Amino acid sequence: MQVVRGKKIDTLYDAGQIARRNAELAAEIMKGPSDDLLVIAVLKGSFIFAADLIRAMHAAGAAPEVEFITLSSYGAGTVSQGVRIIKDIDSDVAGRDVLLIDDILESGRTLSFARQLMRDRGAKNVSIAVLLDKREKRNTDLEADYVGFECPDYFVVGYGMDAAYAFRELPYVGIVTGDAD
Ligand code: IMP
Ligand code: MG
């Protein structure tokens, strides 16, 4: 347990576990379609995972192009469930093997939207890597091709992920368990 900004945080996956899993994921990704690979990090939450995973991919022999897209959900918790592009990629995806990287796969709305967007733009193949799979909350049929870890149905923070803009800097994935005394 660690206290950060007055909150108690329990470690769910520590830095060593994540680093070892990233190396395994990179090796798996190298067995998939990796011709002229375009990696697209779905910001903001994936920024640390993506940074570590692409370096693990480099160590496994890959030389991907790296892009960034910022997506935002609106109407969360309501019936109007949309996803919005805040900042788009610059590259052309037509005919390319695309790997989307995100922090958490929850309902699947964000990644369904991103995958469809890339398919509509003519990507040859779109695969998905996520650090965490929170499958209890899924309400689409989307499955990731590469999953770091299963995630219990708690709100998690750290390793790029925030709660109200805090905790992205933590080197581990943690669960906020309450206020410090
Ligand atoms: P989905 O569209 O419901 O699959 O939501 C996935 C997105 O919600 C992730 O990319 C995260 O940005 C965010 N998210 C879901 N659960 C958590 C969490 O426990 N902590 C931080 N962000 C989360
Ligand atoms: Mg996200």
CA of 83, closest atom in ligand 1: 2
**Which residue ranges form the domains of the chain, and what is each CATH number?**
2-179 (3.40.50.2020)
DSSP state of 180: -
Pocket test for ligand 1, best of 81, 116, 161, 172 (most atoms within 8 A of CB): 161
Helix or strand holding residue 110 (H, E): helix 109-120
Would you give per-residue pLDDT tens digits along the chain (181 residues)? 999 999 999 999 999 999 999 999 999 999 987 768 999 999 999 999 999 999 999 999 999 999 999 998 765 544 446 899 999 999 999 999 999 999 999 999 999 999 999 999 999 999 999 999 999 999 999 999 999 999 999 999 999 999 999 999 999 999 999 999 8
CA of 61 to the centre of ligand 1 (A): 30
Q: What is the pTM of this model?
A: 0.95
Which ligand has an atom closest to residue 144 CA? Answer: 1
The secondary structure of 16-65, three-state, reads HHHHHHHHHHHHHHHHCCCCCEEEEEEECCCHHHHHHHHHHHHHCCCCCE
Q: Which residues are near ligand 1 (CB < 6 Å)?
A: 45, 73, 102-110, 134, 155-156, 161
